[in-house]
Structure 1
Amino acid sequence: MSKTVDLANPELYINRELAALEFNFRVLAQARDPDVPVLERLRYLTIVNNNLDEYFEVRVAVLKHKHALGAAVPGADGLSSSEILARIRERALELVAEIFDTWREELLPALDAEGIRFLTRDGWSDKQRRWLQGYFQNEIMPVLSPLGLDPAHPFPRILNKTLNLAVVLKGRDAFGREGHMALVRAPRSLPRIIHLPAEVSGGDGDFVFLAEVLQAFADEIFPGFQVCAAYQFRVTRNSELVVEEAEVENLARALSEELAGRGYARPVRLEVGADCPRAITEMLIANFDLEETDVYRCDGPVNIIRAGMIYDQVDRPELKFPRFTPRLSPAFDKGVNEFDVLGARDVLLHHPYESFASVVELLRRAVDDPGVLAIKQTLYRAGKDSPLVDLLVEAARNGKDVTVVIELRARFDEEANIGLANRLQEAGVQVVYGVVGYKTHAKMLLIVRREGGGLRRYVHLSTGNYHQGNSRGYTDIGLMTADPEIGEDIHKVFQQLSGLGPMIQLKRLLHSPFTLYTSVMAKIERETEHARHGRPGRIVAKLNALNEAHVVEALYRASMAGVQIDLIIRGACTLRPGIPGVSDNIRVRSIVGRFLEHSRVYWFGNDGAPELYCASADWMERNLMRRIEVGVPILQPELARRVYDETLDNYLRDNTQAWILGSDGRYTRSHPARGEAPHAAQQALLAAYSG
C-alpha cells in the first residue's frame, strides 16, 4: 500500500496558517455557548480578538513580507503565498463577521439581562449625557492632541493597535484654513471603557466605550467647525522582531533598539467602523500603503477587545466560572522538607488543578538551605512580580551560585525579559541569553546540594512556563525528581547553554535540536514495525500544534501499516485524518474549555512496554529544529499511569468540549451519543482534585 500512495501529495496536508486561524472559531464557540457564564463568554470573545491581533502581527505580517520579496516557499500543502493570503482573507472575514454577530446578537442581550449594559450615544439618558460631557471636558479633552490634515500637518504616525478617529469637518479656523479632515488619536493613558457611577445610571452595571464619548463630543475638540462625522479606525502592524543575532555584540541592546520601533513597523491590517465611507477608507489605505484586501469592517467598536476590561471590574461571581483553589500536592505535607521527599520519590504536578506553590517552596527551601551550592533555571515567560525571581535574587545575595538562562526573544515579552535580566544581573546572578539562532524554550530548574560528603541534584521540569498566572489558567505537567541520570542530563544541558559546549550525550532526556526529532521519528517507526509484523501499534500524543511535514508523513505511514493513532491537538494541525488508505487509523481532536490546554505528552505503546514523555515541545518544525527543548520520560510506573489517565485517556473520552477534525480541515463539536453520559475532561479533573 505505501508504495502506491504518494505521501508528498499536497492534498494530504492542511496549510499551517489556515489551521492556526481555524482554532479561533473553536474559541469563539465558547463565547456563543449559553451554558458558559456570561462574563466568561465575554472573556472568550476578547481572547479571539487578541489571538486575531497576534495572528496578523506575526503570521500574516511575515507571510506578506516574504510574498513581497518573492521569498515565500510553498509548504507541504503546495499553496503559494498569494493563495494562502487570499484564503486567510476569506476566512478572516467570516471570523470577523461572526465576532460582531456574537457581540450584537448574543452577548449584549445576555449581559443586559444581568444588568450589565454597554451604552451607545443614542441610548444615553440626559443625566448620563451630562455626566459623560463633564467627564470628557475634565478627563479626556486635556490630554488630546487633535491634528488637522493639510500640507503643514501631514498624516501622522499611528501607533500599533491604538484607537483613532477620522473626523470630517466643515468651516474655517482662526487662520482662515479650510477644515476638511482631522485625526484624533486616543492616548494610551485614557481608559478605553468608562464605568458610569451608580448615581448616574441607577445601577452599577453601565459602561461606555471611549470611542463613543469621543464621537459624541467631537465638536468640542474642534470649536468653530461643524463636525460632519467621526469614524473609528485601528491599524495593526508587523510585530515580528528581526535581529541578525550573528552580527550583534549585545543581543539585549539590539533587541531594545528593535523594540523602540515595533509600534510603528509596517502596517498589515486596517480596521474601520462599518459606517466608514469609501472615500475615508481609501484615504487611510493610501496613507498606510495598504491594499483594499487589508481592510476589515467592524460592525461594532473597532477595539472590541477592550470590552473584556469589565471582567475584573464587575464583582458578580455568579456570572463567572465557579472559583476553585488549586490543591497543594499531598506529597508535601506542611513543614515537610522538600529535599527529603524528592530524595525518596518523584513528584508529579498537574496544573492548574495542583498548585504551583510547590515549585516556589522548593526554590525557597533551596535559598535558605546551607547545603545548596548552585541554582540554575531557564525563564521564558516569568510574569510580573514573580516570586521565583525574588527568590533567585535572594539566593544570589545569600552566596549561592545562581545562573539564569533568559530567553529575550519570547514574543511580546521581550521588553519584560530585558528588564528581568537587568534586575538579576544587578543582584549578582549570572545571566545568559541562550544560544544564537535557537530560542531556549525548555522549562528547567536545577538545584545542586551537598549531602553526606557528595553532591546531589534536584530537578524540576515542566511543559509550561515559570509563570504563576499561567499555572492557574493553563494545563501543564511538572516533574520534580532527584533521579541521578535526569539530573546529570539537565546539568549537561545547562553547561552547554552557558558555556558554548560541544555536542552532548544524554541518557534520559530527549533534547532539541539534537535528539528530540530523531527520537520521535524513531518511535513512530518502531510502532509502524510492530504493526507490520502483526503486533499492536499504538500512539497517543497531546500537543498544542502539529505541522512538521516529515512527522505527519511518518504518522501517515504508521496509519497505513495499521497503527492506531489518537492526537489531541489544541491548535493548528496540518495532518488530515480519516483519508481512506492513508490516515483512516488516525483520529484528531481539539479540546477547548475553561483552561488553555498547554501540556505536551507523547505516549508510545511499544508492544506492551509503553513509553511516556512530557515535553516543552510541540511537533512543529521550529520546536524540533530551531529551539532548545527537552522531553523527560516519566519513569515511575504509577506516575506514568496517572499522566496517561488524566491527560490522554480522560481527553479521549471527552464528548462535550471536544472538536473532531475531519479530512476536509473543518472541526465538528462532539456531543454525547444516545444513552451516553456527558464527559468533560477538564470538569472531571476539577471534580477529582477538589474532592
Structure 2
Amino acid sequence: MARKLPLPATAIADLSAPELYLNRELAALEFNFRVLAMARDARVPLLERLRYLSIVANNLDEFFEVRVAMLKHHHSYGSAAPGPDGLPSGEVLTRIRARVLDLVAEQYATWQEQLKPQLDAEGIRFLTRHQWNAVQRHWLQGYFEHEVLPVLSPLGLDPAHPFPRILNKTLNIAVVLQGRDAFGHEGHMALVRAPRSLPRIVRLPDEVGGDGHNFVFLAELLQAFVDLMFPGFKVAGSYQFRVTRNSELIVEEAEVENLARALSEELLGRGYARPVRLEIANDCPKAITAMLVANFELEESDVYRCDGPVNIIRAGSIYDQVDRPELKFARFVPCLPAAIGPGTNLFEVIGEHDVLLHHPYESFAAVVDLLRQAAADPGVLAIKQTLYRAGEDTPLVDLLVEAARNGKDVTVVIELRARFDEAANIRLATKLQEAGVQVVYGVVGYKTHAKMMLIVRREAGALRRYVHLSTGNYHQANSRMYTDIGLMTANPEIGEDLHKVFQQLSGLGSVINLKRLLHSPFTLYRSVVAKIERETAHALAGKPARIVAKLNALNEAHVIEALYRASQAGVEIDLIVRGACTLRPGLPGISERIRVRSIVGRFLEHSRVYWFANDGQPETYCASADWMERNLMRRVEVAFPILDPALARRVFDETLANGLEDNTEAWLLGGDGRYTRATPGERPPHSAQQTLLRKICG
C-alpha cells in the first residue's frame, strides 16, 4: 500500500496533493492483517483465535461484495474518478489483488500450520476424509445417504444441461467424470451445489468420534462420497469452489413509491448479481479453472486459490459447540452504573443527573429497562427511536409494540438500507407497523445512521423529554462485543434538539437550528473543521493546543487537510482509528505532530469520541459518525456533547487516554501506510480493554 513521495514532504505546499493520502480501499484491507494477527497470537485463547480467522474471512467476503464490486463496476464503465490519493481504479484493483494474495496465503498458513494442529492437540479435530477410521467412515456415509444426498441435485454439464446459476458465497463441487450415462452420453463435467439448508460443519457423535470433539466440513463429505451421486461413472477428480457476487443494492429512491417493496424486490436478485471473485481449491486443474472463469465471466486475476476449505469462514461456527472455557476469553458480567440498581426509577435518576454507559463493560440492560419503564409508565405520551441494526431477537421491538398497545404514540425510524441487514429490517418494520407503530424510513438519499431515543413524559402538568444517545446500534448482542458510549439525559436543550431531528426525519422539515447537537449532513462536518481550525488558531497564538479523536475510520479529505494545517501550526494530534485511515502521519513539515494508532483486541472498538483542548475549556463529543465522507455528507448522524465535567473526564480517561497508553493491542501507523505493533519496551504492559474490564467489571 506504500507510495513513494516524488518530492520531499517539506516541498509540498498543496495539502490536497495525492502524495499525502493513502488509498481508501487498501487502507480498509490492511485492517484484516491486524485482525489476522490476533488469530496468530499465542496469548489469545485458542478458540478465540479460530473466531478471528473466521472474522477475517467474513470481512474479506464483504470487502469483495461491496468495495471491489463497486470499484470494478465503475472501472468497467470508465466512471471511476480517482480519490484524494490520485490512484486510477485499474491500479487500485491491481494493488488489491497483490495484497489479498498475501492475506489469503497468511490466512491459510495460519489454519494449516497453527490453528488446526493446536486444535488437534486439544482434542478438537477437523477431520479430512483421509483421516477417518472405518467406524467414522461408516457413520458419515450413512449420514450422507440419509441427510445429504436426498436434497442434492447434481448436474451434468452438456448442451441440455447448461451451466447453472450459482448463488453468492455458496459451497460447490466441480466434478470430472469418466464413462457413459444411461442414454449413451459420455460424462465429462458435473457440478454439485450444496443447498444452504445443509450444515457446513458436521459434528460426529461421541460414540463415533471417540474422545474429544470431531468435526467434518461438508465439502469433505461431498468429495468423499461424490461417486454415490454419479453411479456408473468413474470420478476422476472433484474440486471445491465458491463465487462471490456484487451485493450492493441499487435503488433509485426518488423513483419508487414504496422503499420497502422496492428493496424487497431487489433483495431477491442480490444472490445472483455479477460475480467479482472465484475461490477455488489449490489442486483444481487449469482447464477446470478456465471453464469456471469463462462461465462466471471473470478474469484470471479474479481467481484466488485456497490451501484448505474454500469456506474457511465456517470453521468459527464450532465455537458455541465446544464447551471448553479455558480455550475462550474469561467470562465477565457487565455491571450497571452506581446510580442504577434493581427496581430503580430511571426517570428519577436521569431527571437528577446525566448517566453515562460504557459498553460492553456496563450493561445494555439499562437501555432496555428505560424503554420498558417508558412503555408501562402512564405519564409517558410518546416514544421516538431510530433502528439501524437491531437484530431480530432484540427485546426493544417487543417493548415498542407494547408501548403502542398501551396507547403511547410510538414512532420508529428504521434504516432499511443498513447493508446486509435489509431483509431483517424489513421484517422488523412490518412487525411494528402491524402493531400500530408509525414507521418511517428516514430521508430519501440519506441513510439514517444516528442512534437516538426520545421519550416524552408528562410531569406535574408539564412535558419533559428524556433522551438516550449512543455511538452504537440498539443491538443487544453487539453491546457485549462492541465498545460504545451511551448517554442518558434530561437536558432540555438536548431534548429540544432531538425533538427537531425526529420531526425532520418523520416529516418534510426544513433545515433546523440546533443548540447542542451536531447534525449531519448539515452542521457536523463544518463544526468538526471549525473546531480543528480553532485549535490551529490557538497554536498560532502560542497557546497549548491539542486534538484527540477515536474513530472507526478516517478518509474525508478536507478534514485531513485541516488536520495537516493544524499539525503544521503546532497542534498535537492523537488519533485512535480502528479501521481504514487515509491520513499519512509523521511526514516532516506536514503531519509530524500527528500520531495514529489502531487497537484490535477482544472487543471491536466502535465508539467515536472527539476531544478538543479549546484553550483550557475542553469539549468532548461522542458521535454515531466517523470522519468519513459518507458520514459527514451523505448520512443523518448526530454528535452529542458530554456536558457534565465528571462524565466528560471519564470519557476522556476511559476511551482516549487509556487507548493512547495501550502497548499490547495497539498498532502504530507509519507514513508509508504500514502498521507496526506497539510493544511495552521498558514500560509495564498495558491493555486498554483489560484495564477497563478490571476497573469497571471488577
State percent identity of aligned pairs: 78
Equivalent residue, structure 2, for 1:29: 37
* C-alpha deviation, 1:607, in angstroms: 0.8
Letter in 2 for 1:620: M
1:520 equivalent to 2:528? Answer: yes
Secondary structure of the residue that 1:121 maps to in structure 2? Answer: coil
Partner Cα distance (2:362, 2:596) in 1: 27
Equivalent residue, structure 2, for 1:189: 197
Partner Cα distance (1:339, 1:6) in 2: 53
> Which segment drifts farther, 563-572 or 327-336?
327-336
1:409-420 matches, cutoff 5 A: 409-420=417-428
Partner Cα distance (1:167, 1:476) in 2: 48
**Structure 1, residues 462-494: CA drift from partner, whole Å, max 9, x if none?**
000000011000000000000000000000000
Secondary structure of the residue that 1:359 maps to in structure 2? Answer: helix
The one of 503, 506, 514 equivalent to 1:495 is: 503
Partner Cα distance (1:4, 1:596) in 2: 37
1:668 equivalent to 2:654? Answer: no
* C-alpha deviation, 1:329, in angstroms: 1.9
Equivalent residue, structure 2, for 1:311: 319
**Structure 1, residues 62-111: CA drift from partner, whole Å, max 9, x if none?**
00000011000001100000000000000000000000000000001111
Letter in 1 for 2:686: H
* C-alpha deviation, 1:690, in angstroms: 2.0
Equivalent residue, structure 2, for 1:486: 494
The one of 356, 380, 386 equivalent to 1:348 is: 356
Secondary structure of the residue that 1:33 maps to in structure 2? Answer: coil
Q: Could you list the runs of 4 or more consecutive aligned residues of structure 1 that deviate by over 3 angstroms after TM superposition?
A: 1-4
1:586-601 matches, cutoff 5 A: 586-601=594-609
The one of 141, 144, 152 equivalent to 1:144 is: 152
1:679 equivalent to 2:686? Answer: yes
The one of 1, 16, 20 equivalent to 1:12 is: 20
1:256 equivalent to 2:259? Answer: no
Secondary structure of the residue that 1:475 maps to in structure 2? Answer: strand
* C-alpha deviation, 1:376, in angstroms: 0.2
Letter in 2 for 1:174: A
Partner Cα distance (1:570, 1:8) in 2: 24
The one of 200, 207, 212 equivalent to 2:215 is: 207
Equivalent residue, structure 1, for 2:654: 646
Letter in 1 for 2:350: L
Q: Residue 517 of structure 2 contacts residue 641 of structure 2 at CA under 8 Å; is this kept in 1?
A: yes
Q: Residue 197 of structure 1 contacts residue 204 of structure 1 at CA under 8 Å; is this kept in 2?
A: no
1:612 equivalent to 2:620? Answer: yes
Partner Cα distance (1:285, 1:2) in 2: 48
Partner Cα distance (2:588, 2:481) in 1: 38
Partner Cα distance (1:645, 1:568) in 2: 14
Partner Cα distance (2:318, 2:695) in 1: 31
Partner Cα distance (2:335, 2:39) in 1: 28
Equivalent residue, structure 2, for 1:295: 303
1:77 equivalent to 2:85? Answer: yes
The one of 89, 108, 112 equivalent to 2:97 is: 89
Partner Cα distance (2:11, 2:220) in 1: 64
Secondary structure of the residue that 2:174 maps to in structure 1? Answer: strand
1:688 equivalent to 2:691? Answer: no
Equivalent residue, structure 2, for 1:173: 181
Q: Residue 2 of structure 1 contacts residue 560 of structure 1 at CA under 8 Å; is this kept in 2?
A: no
* C-alpha deviation, 1:381, in angstroms: 0.6
Q: Residue 108 of structure 2 contacts residue 308 of structure 2 at CA under 8 Å; is this kept in 1?
A: yes
Letter in 1 for 2:122: E
Partner Cα distance (1:296, 1:443) in 2: 38
Secondary structure of the residue that 2:472 maps to in structure 1? Answer: coil
Q: Residue 232 of structure 1 contacts residue 272 of structure 1 at CA under 8 Å; is this kept in 2?
A: yes
Secondary structure of the residue that 2:267 maps to in structure 1? Answer: helix
Equivalent residue, structure 1, for 2:3: none
Q: Residue 392 of structure 2 contacts residue 428 of structure 2 at CA under 8 Å; is this kept in 1?
A: no
Q: What is the number of equivalent residue pairs in this alignment? A: 690
Equivalent residue, structure 2, for 1:285: 293
1:626 equivalent to 2:638? Answer: no
1:271 equivalent to 2:279? Answer: yes
The one of 384, 387, 398 equivalent to 1:379 is: 387
Partner Cα distance (1:224, 1:625) in 2: 63
Partner Cα distance (1:328, 1:389) in 2: 22
Partner Cα distance (2:612, 2:11) in 1: 25
Partner Cα distance (2:443, 2:434) in 1: 22
* C-alpha deviation, 1:379, in angstroms: 0.2
Partner Cα distance (1:664, 1:537) in 2: 26
Q: Residue 617 of structure 1 contacts residue 624 of structure 1 at CA under 8 Å; is this kept in 2?
A: yes
**Structure 1, residues 258-292: CA drift from partner, whole Å, max 9, x if none?**
00000000000000000001000000000000000
Q: Residue 36 of structure 2 contacts residue 107 of structure 2 at CA under 8 Å; is this kept in 1?
A: yes
- Tell me the TM-score normalized by structure 1: 0.99
Q: Residue 510 of structure 1 contacts residue 516 of structure 1 at CA under 8 Å; is this kept in 2?
A: yes
* C-alpha deviation, 1:330, in angstroms: 1.6
1:556 equivalent to 2:536? Answer: no
* C-alpha deviation, 1:333, in angstroms: 2.0
Partner Cα distance (2:132, 2:445) in 1: 55
Secondary structure of the residue that 1:468 maps to in structure 2? Answer: coil
Secondary structure of the residue that 2:176 maps to in structure 1? Answer: strand
Secondary structure of the residue that 2:183 maps to in structure 1? Answer: coil
Letter in 2 for 1:687: R
Equivalent residue, structure 2, for 1:446: 454
Letter in 1 for 2:176: V
Secondary structure of the residue that 1:8 maps to in structure 2? Answer: coil
What is the RMSD computed on CA atoms of the aligned residues?
0.9
**Structure 1, residues 513-532: CA drift from partner, whole Å, max 9, x if none?**
00000000000000001011
Partner Cα distance (1:132, 1:203) in 2: 17
1:331-370 matches, cutoff 5 A: 331-370=339-378
Q: Residue 2 of structure 1 contacts residue 557 of structure 1 at CA under 8 Å; is this kept in 2?
A: no
Secondary structure of the residue that 2:243 maps to in structure 1? Answer: strand
Q: Residue 196 of structure 1 contacts residue 204 of structure 1 at CA under 8 Å; is this kept in 2?
A: no
Letter in 2 for 1:205: H
Equivalent residue, structure 1, for 2:518: 510
1:40 equivalent to 2:40? Answer: no
Partner Cα distance (2:504, 2:528) in 1: 22
Partner Cα distance (1:613, 1:630) in 2: 10
* C-alpha deviation, 1:645, in angstroms: 0.1
Partner Cα distance (2:651, 2:566) in 1: 24
Classify 1:536/1:115 alpha carbon distance in 2 versus 1 (closer, same or farther; 3 Å).
same
* C-alpha deviation, 1:162, in angstroms: 0.2
* C-alpha deviation, 1:113, in angstroms: 1.3
1:407 equivalent to 2:407? Answer: no
Letter in 2 for 1:428: G
**Structure 1, residues 117-154: CA drift from partner, whole Å, max 9, x if none?**
11111111111111111111111111110000000000
In structure 2, the gaps of 5 or more residues are: 1-8
Letter in 2 for 1:328: L
Partner Cα distance (1:326, 1:139) in 2: 42
* C-alpha deviation, 1:384, in angstroms: 1.8
Letter in 2 for 1:14: L
Secondary structure of the residue that 1:246 maps to in structure 2? Answer: helix
Q: Residue 10 of structure 2 contacts residue 588 of structure 2 at CA under 8 Å; is this kept in 1?
A: no
Partner Cα distance (1:336, 1:88) in 2: 53
Letter in 1 for 2:284: C
> Which segment drifts farther, 5-14 or 242-251?
5-14
* C-alpha deviation, 1:204, in angstroms: 3.5
Equivalent residue, structure 2, for 1:635: 643
Q: Residue 45 of structure 2 contacts residue 328 of structure 2 at CA under 8 Å; is this kept in 1?
A: yes
* C-alpha deviation, 1:11, in angstroms: 1.2
Partner Cα distance (2:204, 2:530) in 1: 62
Partner Cα distance (2:343, 2:287) in 1: 70
Partner Cα distance (1:98, 1:342) in 2: 50
* C-alpha deviation, 1:201, in angstroms: 2.2
* C-alpha deviation, 1:7, in angstroms: 1.1
Q: Residue 158 of structure 1 contacts residue 264 of structure 1 at CA under 8 Å; is this kept in 2?
A: yes
Q: Residue 31 of structure 1 contacts residue 41 of structure 1 at CA under 8 Å; is this kept in 2?
A: yes
